[in-house]
Amino acid sequence: FMTIDMLRWSLMLLRNLSLERSRIPVILSHHAWMELIIEQCIISGHETSSSQAEEAAYSALWCLLHQSQKAVSVLKKHPLLDKILAITTKEGCTKAHLAVQILCSAE
């Protein structure tokens, strides 16, 4: 069980690791890390979610996808991609959230 702070810091660490291109394949190969990021993006609309955790999850996902065609192709094959794309944009939606939607919906 993770507290909101532990979750947020874990996601921020994954985001920072994703900034170094050589680490992206390592993150992509760890199924649990990818699931953590993706699941936090999906539960972002629920009452129990933290806006800080949501922001950290989308930021981590955007850093993975940015300038990494391999990461984009991995995410496009992910079974939960439709749920990420189906999340309606709400007022105050982060730029990272919108960027993930654009990157993943592009053909």
Contact 100, 80 (CB under 8 A): no
Q: CB neighbours of 45 closer than 8 A, spacing ≥ 6? A: 87, 90
Q: What sign for the dihedral angle of Cα 26, 30, 32, 36? A: positive
Tell me what percent of the residues of the chain surpass a pLDDT of 90. 21
Lowest-pLDDT range of 7-11, 77-81, 92-96: 92-96
What's residue 13's pLDDT? 94
pLDDT tens for residues 26-36? Answer: 999 998 999 89
pLDDT for 30 equals: 92
44-69: per-residue pLDDT in tens? 555 555 678 888 888 888 888 887 88
